[in-house]
Amino acid sequence: MTCKIVTIVGARPQFIKAAAVSREILKHPGRLVEVMVHTGQHYDPNMSQVFFDELEIPTPKYNLEVSGGTHGVMTGRMLEGIEQILIEEKPDWVLIYGDTNSTLAGALAAAKLHIPVAHVEAGLRSFNMHMPEEVNRILSDRVSNLLLCPTALAVDNLSKEGITLGVHNVGDVMYDVALFYRERAKAKSKVLALLGLEPGAFALATCHRAENTDDPQRLGEIMAGLADIAVQMPVVLPLHPRTRNLLKVHDMEYHLNSIIVVDPLPFLDMVALEQAANIILTDSGGVQKEAYFYGVPCITLRDETEWVETVDMGFNQLVGASRSAINAAMSNRLIPKAKSDVYGDGTAAAQIVAILEKTRL
């Protein structure tokens, strides 16, 4: 009997995670079939056919093209579109990833139609309810039937909230991704040569979270901190057009004069830069973990992180959005402890697919 899975994704990091699971689903022809839905939440010019070719996955069957607007408007439009797709497709499972508005819309649409929900990256908590992502992940966990956790701590977070049924610690699917693409990136990407960079001799930075970009004070502090680092070593900053525009609006573009600013990069180029960097500075949850997977020290430009294991193991420093704290972290580099299997053994996707196939609700 064929098990149909509708996968809901809306942002580039979700596609990257979903690619690992999709590859496993394709190993079960006749038993499993996947229908991928792109909500369109994050417009990314690099999410072209080349992007899907790099990930070795087909383009989504559906694209709702829902982007822009308030959280309520966006989530509502997604909810309406996903509901119609689920009524038409009649899946056995709805598979959601992470903590975006797309995640929540997929969870709510499925729950109201009584379709079982499986949540990848369940149980993560920042304990900051001012973050839209925290609201999304908590509500999605509440209506999920399978809670596919990346770490033991995530399992513990759910247990403290009274959620124990359907909970599985499968490991982090991003570790699967890191293992799968690291050598491909080294072999195929030419980005270091194009930017004139030497391995181990540059810093890689990203800054995209609303808590940083929408606050002129925080944004200015971060950019000033990056400019300080650029005196010591080249700093590469893949810059989203929205962040670039905000820097212009707030008359902060001068901070970029000493920084190597590039457009958002293709996936394999980003992986190549992450592996070769001397240090990574980011407010991205995914990039924090990738820094750990590749053994690169990380400075996180946030006040908290869901990936506390990276901090506990000495790979990651939380500095908020303070120029002085960024400089202090650069001056007092961490000496990372030995890496552990806290994020699993690189078989998360296979475990997820096995659980979906054997669990019928």
Tens digits of per-residue pLDDT, 17-27? 999 999 999 99
Q: Which residues are catalytic?
A: 208
Query: Residue 51: pLDDT band by 50, 70, 90 thresholds?
Result: confident
pLDDT at 237: 98
Convert the pLDDT of each residue in 112-148 to its tens digit: 999 999 999 999 999 999 889 999 999 999 999 999 9
Cα–Cα distance measured from residue 6 to residue 39, given in angstroms and rounded to the nearest whole number: 12
| 53-96 residue pLDDT tens | 788 877 899 999 888 788 899 999 999 999 999 999 999 999 99
Tokens at 214, concatenated: 């929408």
The answer to the question of residue 31 being in a domain is yes
Are residues 209 and 84 part of one domain?
no
166 with 246, same domain?
no
| pLDDT tier, 342 (very low <50, low <70, confident <90, very high otherwise) | very high
Residues 165 and 62 in one domain: yes
149 & 198 share domain: no
Is residue 249 situated within a structural domain? yes
Structure tokens at 360: 């019928």
Q: What is the DSSP letter of 254?
A: G
Q: How far is CA 140 from CA 118, 123, 124, 135, in A?
A: 9, 10, 11, 8
Domain that includes residue 217, residue range: 182-331
Identify whether residues 14 and 145 lie together within a single domain: yes
Q: Are 150 and 173 in contact (CB under 8 A)?
A: yes
Classify residue 130 by its DSSP letter: T
Paired with 80 in beta bridges are none
Alpha helices in 131-189 (DSSP H): 132-143, 152-160, 173-188
Question: Quick one: tokens of 152?
Answer: 């033991």
248 found inside a domain: yes
Q: Are residues 315 and 259 in the same domain?
A: yes
CA distance 166 to 143: 11
Question: Residue 265 belongs to a domain with what CATH number?
Answer: 3.40.50.2000
pLDDT in tens, 213-243: 999 999 999 999 999 999 999 999 999 888 9
Domain membership flag for residue 339: no
For residue 132, what are its two tokens? Answer: 């839209």
Q: Are 279 and 296 in contact (CB under 8 A)?
A: yes
Is 177 within the bounds of a domain?
no
125 in a domain, yes or no? yes
Return the pLDDT at 125. Answer: 95
Residues 255 and 353 in one domain: no
Total domains, the chain = 2
Whether the per-residue pLDDT at 30 is higher than 60: the answer is yes
Which residues sit opposite 96 in a β-bridge? 8, 119
* Same domain, yes or no: 159 and 189: no
Q: Is residue 12 domain-shared with residue 154, that is, in the same domain?
A: yes
Q: Are 256 and 181 in contact (CB under 8 A)?
A: no
Using DSSP's 3-state secondary structure scheme, residue 164 falls into coil
Q: Which of 68, 24, 89 is nearest to 353 (CA)?
A: 24
- Dihedral of alpha carbons 327, 221, 10, 285, sign: positive
- Say whether both 84 and 203 belong to one domain: no
Domain assignment present for 317 = yes
pLDDT tens-digit series, residues 305-319? 989 999 988 899 999
In a domain, 53, yes or no: yes
Q: How far is CA 81 from CA 40, 47, 84, in A?
A: 11, 21, 5
Based on the fold, state whether residues 208 and 119 are members of the same structural domain: no
Q: In which residue are the tokens 């491909």 written? A: 184
Phi first, then psi, for residue 300 (nearest 5°) are: -100, 125
351, 210: one domain: no
